[in-house]
Amino acid sequence: MRTFKRILGFIIIFVLSVAILSFLLTPPSGIKILLNQAKEGDYDVLIMGESHAECGYNPYIISDGLGVSAVSVARRITPINNLYYILQEANVDKKYKMVILDIDPYYWRLDQTRDAGTDMNLMPRLTGTRAYHYFREVIWPDRFIRLFCDYQLSVENFEKIPNCISAKFDKDYRENNDAGMNAVNRYLKSDTAFRYEGRGFLRGVDRAPALGWENWEFDGRIEQENIDSLDRIKQYCDENGIKLVCVQSALIPSRLKVQNMGDVHDYFDNMLGARGIEFYDFNYGKWEYLYRTDLDYVDADGHMMGDIADRQSKLLVEVFKSDNPEQYFYNSYDEVLGNLE
């Protein structure tokens, strides 16, 4: 009996420790709020992707230009396999007619990032059998890491504990109100360079050029599970009468000059074309339709300031409405580079 009590005591202490650390160190969840909005709101166009999509496509402009109602669930550092489950949860009422999926090649590479602590664990956000399938297909192969520890034990995260507690006790955050994203962004310290304007759109308002990006070359190798996830997204869209369109947000010109984004374009253009998926790479957007300089970006990674995000969104509208969308794009990467300033 004494041994049983010790084991039980250990289990209780372990569970309490995990619960307390998770509350104190796991960042407030943006997808918690965005998914609720996408499910409860009267929307029919869903914008998906990572941080470039989060600040690169203005759902208000897309809505007005196309006569639709668009919302974004794009979030930074979102693994591709999570997007499939996010789409299913957002479309629980079968109301979406179009999905705009932004392709950020950094997350598709063979050595793609799997950083913890930014909405990677969808288990608490999924309902019905989606939670079970996510556990079986994503959590279980990862040996439960994301289920119990969606954070990193680091000095930086411990320093963020006061802001983490403040965000999680924020009334709008607790009630899943759209304004709760302000508390999330304050925690992430993105509220100085960006301003949240609703519907998932994060407007760049102040440059932070010291924030760089990892210099890497695309070698054509992609995580197979990313391809599998894309195929599942495509199949789900086909089965539910949803038009799937893939896009790539235009990157900062100085990055285009030193990285082989032409190879990236060719890979995704061929891969998506083989699946019958429309693909519009705004890196190839003609200068007269999408003029841009380094000053149009918050940082060297390619997160947009609000003005160019608005212009990119307007161009996307024109592309969708055009009978000849190719007229808005250069034919080769040499043409892209030849027009850079």
Q: What is the DSSP string of 18-57?
A: HHHHHHHHSPPPHHHHHHHHHHHS---EEEE-SHHHHHH-
Residue pLDDT, tens place only, 302-328: 999 999 999 999 999 999 999 999 999
Residue pLDDT, tens place only, 30-83: 999 999 999 999 999 999 999 999 999 999 999 999 999 999 999 988 888 889
Residue 131 located in a structural domain:
no
Residue 2 located in a structural domain:
no
Q: What is the DSSP string of 267-316?
A: HHHHHHHHTT-EEEEGGGB-TTTS---GGGBSSTT-PBPHHHHHHHHHHH
Residue 228 located in a structural domain:
yes
Residue 1 located in a structural domain:
no
Residue 15 located in a structural domain:
no
**Burial status of residue 68 (CB atoms within 10 A of its CB: 0-12, 13-18, 19 or more):** middle
Residue 7 located in a structural domain:
no
Query: In Å, how far are 44, 99, 215, 228 from 72, measured between CA atoms?
Result: 11, 10, 28, 23
AA letter at 13:
I
Residue 83 located in a structural domain:
yes
Residue pLDDT, tens place only, 112-121: 655 444 566 7
What CATH number has the domain bearing residue 185?
A: 3.40.50.1110
Residue 295 located in a structural domain:
yes
> Which domain covers residue 181, as residue numbers?
28-116+161-338
Residue pLDDT, tens place only, 252-272: 998 898 888 999 999 999 999
- Reading the block at residue 322, the tokens are 């055009």
- Reading the block at residue 63, the tokens are 């809505």
Tally of structural domains, the chain: 1
- Reading the block at residue 11, the tokens are 């289990």
